Chain A
Amino acid sequence: MGTFIIFLFLGLLLGTPSVWAETLEERIKKLEETIQKQQEVLKDQQKALEDLKDQSKQAKVAEPPSAEPPPPRDYRLDDRSRGIYVPSASPLTPYSLTKQVTTPGLMNPAISVILDTEYYHSTLSRQELESRSAPGYLDPQEAPFKEGFNLRAIELGFFAPVDPYFNLYATLPVTEDGIELEEAYFVTTSLPAGLQFKGGKFKSGFGRFNAFHPHAWDFVNAPLAYKLFFGGEGEGLTEKGAQLTYLPNLPIYTILGAEVLQGDNDTLFGPDGGPHAYTGFVKSSLDLGANHSILFGGSVVGGKTNTGSFAPDTELKGDSVLYGLEFTYKWKPSRWRSLILQSEYLYRHQKGDLTDTVALTRDSLKRNQDGLYVQALYQIDRWRIGARFDRMAIFKDEVLLAGEKQNYSGQPYRWTGALEFNPTEFSRIRLQYNYDKSDPNKVNQEIFLQFLIAVGAHGAHAY
């Protein structure tokens, strides 16, 4: 009995798996067979489907031009369009949207990202660069570029329509020092009578160059007159405030504008309680034939001044007015060829009291100074060459301190030459040379190799 049980147990232990194995193998074989059959069936079906597709494709392609037998098929009214199209006697509904054609996306603003990076070489040492000034105009400013690799900014741009009445823009250049708020403003779209209102922080309508962001400049750096009258790198007048512009329905394009600004620019105005800078501008444009156009105008900005930018350890309190005249000519016969000539003349009138913050003396200061730049850009295919000449003290260089004429022996000037290669409209490589005598004591020769690389939303370009 015991041995039987043991045998039975052993039998079970050894025998059953082999029996199971056989049946399993058989089963698997059967399964494999059935799967193979099914696969064959599937293949056949797929082939049939593809054949059908090809046929229908061929039929689609073939039908429109097949003229035999005439008349040809009414191909404009295929099944889908027949559903959409209803004879025109009925109201608008038949022509419903076949798809949404809005970009940017409904809830997301359009975003652009622009990298602005350059290699810089100067004949001057770091110390010499930091101590450069334009006597009578501006005290030494921080040198914007360092020998070697520079990253000016990666500029983030946002845009979206807000509702049927406003558009919103924001430009945030990110530098190694952090994020800046260059512009953030709304602009109206639906005011009547050609009026438009802008509010927030924005680039003033003063002048021509002022409206452009650094990545859109025609050269790496700003015109000398902008640098000396507005300070910084010459970005010009970017202020918190409000702007009203008017585009009358005249035979030629003419725009009139006025702004009330906070007056934070610390070279021309400087901190003061409340808004204390005001601008006004008029610009006109004409087409001269199909390929030529000109834009010209005049601007004025004036306000209360409270600045330490005249010379170290000084404080100037008074009033400033800056006048600007602009002229642009464009010849653009095709995408691959263009010539742009541009010039601006700036004149500054300033009057006030200059306090020496060390000696604590106060004298009257009066400055009447001007400056000009002339530039030309010629494009052939994807290449563009450019030249610019900057000069201060064109007609007027008058600095009266305590009624006495100061002689700074300076007629600051600068020559600039640039060569650009634009692989597409989203990338630009620029090689630039400056011969800069804005400081009469030292000539600065500079070379830039700049890369401007843009991704994201395709911004429309202003004139």
Chain B
Amino acid sequence: MIPRCLMAMVCFLIWASPAVAQLNVVATLPWIGSLAGDIGKDKIKVTTLVKPSQDPHYVEAKPSMILEVRRADLLLFNGLELEIGYLPVLVESSRNPKIQPGTPGYFDCSQFVEVIEKPAAVDRSMGDVHPLGNPHYHHSPRNIYRVAGGITEMLATVDPANAGFYRTNLAGWQDKFKEREKKWGQTKLKGEKFIAYHKFFEYLAHDFGFEIIGYVEPKPGIPPSAGWVERIIELAKRTKPEAILTTSYYGTREVTFLSQKSGVRYIVVPHDVGATPACKDWFSLMDQVLAALK
């Protein structure tokens, strides 16, 4: 009885182990997974932990995620403490020596980013401020260009046999980038004013020269009170911004109300790859974001 059980167990384990030696890459956010897929193509197997419908600030460490991280050869994450609520517990519980902090497999994409809004002093009375700076840099082409380079070099390090393949793919990606960049550069957003729900579009504003004059959240992570909404309506009426920017996971209840009261339209900006069907990869995400802002 017991030997038969063991046999079945062993057979099961053999069946469960992957047949082709693809590099297992686990990414926290959809855009990171998509970027890695563009570089690694069929040489890597990408698993993304966070769904495009989820608020990246509030993700729960599910056991299924622990299992994904356990299998990872490389763990790619956003960094700047965006994943602080779930990633440390996933990494420890994964029991995976390849992706522990301090190893090359523990890959913080923000190391290539010129971080903005790094607070000089911070405490939580300011709301859920990210003490290492604004973590939502994925809408910034200049930063993602470098992140793509960094991911390529890391893939080449972890999987040296395919280093040439990854670097060739990066070159192709960079060509595409230069082509798109010309198009994006023609987006006329310079000097325009917007109101945003959360401090989510600062890198976009920084790169494309527009201004965010107010936030629907009174403080990061704190939902607006009735009094605050009144102040935002007053601000919107007085300054007449182009639009109120939000993302799908904040819902449209508050922005619809704001929009009706102030006469300023709202735009649901795709926040990540997969947020809308058209956002297939990082390039089309940027296309969609800039098209939405026009």
Show the binding face of A for B, using Cβ within 8 Å. Answer: 61-67, 70-72, 74-78, 80-81, 84-85, 88-89, 91-92, 94-95, 97-99, 101-103, 161, 164, 167, 187, 189-192, 194-196, 245, 247-253, 255, 283, 285-287, 290, 293, 295, 330, 332, 334-336, 381-382, 424-426, 455, 458, 460-463
- Let me know if B61 and A98 touch, CB within 8 A: no
Contact B63–A295 (Cβ < 8 Å): yes
Establish whether residues B249 and A335, one from each chain, have CB atoms under 8 Å apart when the complex forms: yes
Segment of B27-35, B88-96, B233-241 in the binding face: B88-96
Complex Cα distance, B61 from A463, in Å, reads 6
- CB neighbours (8 Å) of B152 from chain A are 88
B209–A285 contact, CB under 8 A? no
A67 touches B108 (CB 8 A): no
Contact A287 B62 (CB under 8 A): yes
Q: A461 touching B149 by the CB < 8 A rule? A: no
Interface string of B146-165 (1 = CB under 8 A from A): 10011011101100000000
Q: Is there an interface contact between B51 and A290, defined as CB atoms closer than 8 Å?
A: yes
Residues in chain A near residue B143, CB distance under 8 A: 76
B4 at the interface (CB under 8 A from A): no
Is B188 among interface residues, defined by CB-CB distance under 8 A? Answer: yes
A330 to B64, CA, bound (A): 13
* From A70, A88, A191, A382, contact of B153 by CB (8 A): A88
Take A88-B171, A248-B13 as given contacts and tell me if A80 and B114 are in contact as well, using a CB distance cutoff of 8 Å.
Answer: yes
Contacts of A463 in B (CB 8 A): 60-63
Inter-subunit contact A424/B61 (CB<8 Å): no
Residue ranges of B at the interface with A (Cβ–Cβ < 8 Å): 12-13, 16-17, 51, 53-55, 57-58, 60-64, 66-67, 70-71, 79-81, 84-97, 100-103, 108, 110-115, 124, 127-128, 131-132, 141-143, 145-146, 149-150, 152-154, 156-157, 167, 170-171, 177, 181-182, 185-190, 206-209, 221-223, 249, 251
Among the listed A62, A95, A293, which residue makes an inter-chain contact with B62, where contact means beta carbons less than 8 Å apart? A293
Within the complex, the shortest CB–CB distance from B70 to chain A, in Å, comes to 6
Smallest distance from the beta carbon of A341 to chain B beta carbons, Å?
A: 15
* Contact call B62/A99, Cβ cutoff below 8 A: no
Residues of A within 8 A of B208 (CB): 64-65
**A189: chain B residues within 8 A (beta carbon):** 91-92, 95, 97, 100
Tell me if A458 and B81 are in contact (CB < 8 A).
Answer: yes
A191 to B96, CA, bound (A): 8
Distance in angstroms from B124 CB to nearest chain A CB is 6
A187-B92, A426-B124, A461-B60 as given contacts; A97 in contact with B67, CB under 8 Å? no
Q: Do A253 and B64 touch across chains, with their CB atoms under 8 A apart?
A: yes
The complex places the Cα of A335 from the Cα of B112 at a distance, in Å, of 29
Q: Please determine whether B112 and A461 come into contact, CB atoms closer than 8 angstroms.
A: no
Q: Tell me whether A95 and B115 are in contact (CB under 8 A).
A: no
For A62, the chain B residues whose CB sits under 8 A away are: 190, 209
Contact across chains for A72 and B132 when beta carbons are under 8 A apart = no
> For A77, what are the chain B residues with a Cβ–Cβ distance below 8 Å?
142, 145
Q: Is the interface of A mostly helix, strand, loop or mixed?
A: loop
Residues of A within 8 A of B112 (CB): 84, 95, 98
Cross-chain contact B149 with A382 (CB below 8 angstroms): no
**Would A164 and B100 count as touching, CB distance under 8 A?**
yes
Asked whether A92 lies within 8 Å of B190 as measured between CB atoms, the reply is no
Chain B residue numbers with a CB within 8 Å of A91 are 153
Which one, A84, A190, A196, A285, contacts B146 given CB within 8 A? A84
* In contact, A382 and B223 (Cβ under 8 angstroms): yes
CB–CB B66/A253 < 8 A: yes
Give min CB distance, B137 to chain A, whole Å. 12
A63 CA to B141 CA in the complex, in Å? 14
- Contact across chains for A99 and B115 when beta carbons are under 8 A apart: yes
- Min Cβ gap A187→B in Å is 7
* Closest B residue, CB atoms, query A169: B92
How distant is A453 from chain B, measured CB to nearest CB, in Å? 11
Contact of B181 among A76, A92, A287 (CB under 8 A): A76
Extra inter-chain contacts (18) besides given A64-B209, A72-B181, A463-B62, CB under 8 Å: A61-B190, A62-B209, A67-B188, A84-B112, A91-B153, A94-B149, A98-B112, A102-B101, A249-B13, A253-B63, A253-B67, A285-B63, A295-B63, A332-B60, A334-B53, A335-B249, A381-B223, A462-B61
Cross-chain contact A95 with B64 (CB below 8 angstroms): no
Q: Known contacts A164-B103, A463-B63; decide if A247 and B111 are in contact (CB<8 Å).
A: no
Cα(A291)–Cα(B250), bound, Å: 17
Please state if B61 and A190 are interface contacts (CB–CB under 8 Å): no
Residue picked from B64, B141, B156, B221, most chain A C-beta under 10 Å: B64
Q: Which chain A positions have C-beta within 8 A of B95?
A: 189, 191, 194-196, 245, 247
B142 and A75: CB pair below 8 A?
A: yes
A95 to chain B, nearest CB (A): 4
Q: Which A residues are CB-close (under 8 A) to B207?
A: 64, 75
Query: Cα distance A44–B91 when bound, in Å?
Result: 57
Q: Which of A67, A80, A382 has the most CB of B within 10 A?
A: A67
Q: Which residues from chain B contact A75 at a C-beta distance below 8 Å?
A: 141-142, 207
Q: Which residue of A lies closest to B111 (CB)?
A: A97
Please give me the residue from chain B that is nearest to A250 by CB atom.
Answer: B16
* Residue in B79, B101, B171, B189 whose CB lies within 8 Å of A161: B101
A312 to B92, CA, bound (A): 45
CB distance from B247 to the nearest CB of A (A): 12
Chain A residue at smallest Cβ distance from B101: A161
